[in-house]
Structure 1
Amino acid sequence: MKRFLTYSAAVASLSLFLTGCSGNNDKKTSDAHAQTQQQHSKEASTSKDIKINKEKLSDQAHENMKKEVLDWADKRAKQKGLAVSNRYFGAGEISSGDWYAMTPKGELQVSNQGSPGPKAFDRHNLVGVVMYKSKNGTTGFDSKAKSLTNIESYQNVADLNQPVTKYLFADDGNVYEYIFKPNEKVTLSSGFAPKDHNDKDPNLKPDHAFSLSEDESADETMQRIVKQYGMQSK
């Protein structure tokens, strides 16, 4: 009788142990499945967000796109009594890696040096421009800004006592902007940071975060671009 009770207790303990292992395995399987589902969901969401595949754009299509944005910017700047330039970004010798901006939708690649490359970013900039009050009275496209460097910044062409606005036309079909106030330092690299600054430091963060542009004419231009080049880039 004693042996029977001991044997029964052992069987019960083994059963509880196996049930526990099974539960743990089921939980691990469930967690792994959930992580896979989340990853697939993120990838699907990212895929749906991208309206224009930058990597599949021809050089000519990209140049046409830049011209369309600059034509909009030239006209818009003249309406507002401002100057505009496509010298919205420059890193100089600060870093050889890729630079990005922070947006409400996540990181947006603005330069591609292959480190870490486009695949490391969910979104990518297509065209960028900067608008400012010219210190020389220029309105519209400012040819004097062509040779600006990150060191001299905009001080040679802009009245820095007035706001400076950077616009980013991204492949997700959105236009992002940041308005630098007169008391904020603004250079060609302002608003951006390098990804993988070096092998030891963590990724640097941009000093400012872009927001969705409230300029309806900019958004209208972006939607025309999506309609024209979105199909070509698939």
Structure 2
Amino acid sequence: MGKKAKIDVTTAEYNLGNAKVNLIKAKNTLELAAVELANAVGIPELEGVILKDKLNNKKYEVNFPELLKTANESRPALLAAKKSMDAAELNVRSAKRAFTPDVSGFAGYDHGGRQINSDYGYQVGVQLNYSNLNLMLLKKQVDEAKATYNKYVADYEQQKQNVYLEVKSAYISLLNSHDSLDVSKLALQQAQERQYLAFRRYQVGLGDAIEFKDSENTYLNAQLDYYNNLLNYNINAAELERVIGAPIKESDIDL
């Protein structure tokens, strides 16, 4: 057995050992992920459940103003705050109506007789009537209604701000993960070319097993990095869908 052949055998044995270790780690990661998934969906185990193994590899079409509009129209907390604010506004109007007097008018005409001192003319007037004589109580009710309304307005504005920040954060995270994916895709292509060239050099005797192994490791790491970034892109897309309360559109552009 030549020196080069012995190096090849040693390298192959080392690769086999590494592959077995990585396989054990992968199985362990899979089992832990299955437990976490079962816990997340509220079932004891995933036995009998068929999981669809699909990772989207299409770019998502996202526009921040449209995303924010969708979130404002679908977020339950924001909608509830809006309804509370509207109800408080109606309560203010009702309280003001009780504080406002009822206005009534009257008119009359006096027709005198034949006497010199007989009265002739018209009588016109306006009368204000309060349904409740306790004006201080009515004013207090109006003030309380206004204070409640102002509180709900502040709550609504806070909810709007929260929605804006969450949508903006999720939107930026999706864009950043897309940029990272572009970089890792380019690195993957370069690593693949390097691995091919190293393999060809090894075939014709210009390169050794160590060089070839190094190029394989680089290519493998580039693949892992690419798929991790692809996974993060999909996770960020799912988070954005959760934040806006609606699905986002896929394009025809491959990642």
Query: TM-score by structure 2 length?
Result: 0.27
Q: Which protein has the larger Cα radius of gyration, Structure 1 or Structure 2?
A: 2
- Which has the larger share of strand? 1
Higher relative contact order structure (alpha carbons within 8 Å, sequence separation ≥ 6): 2
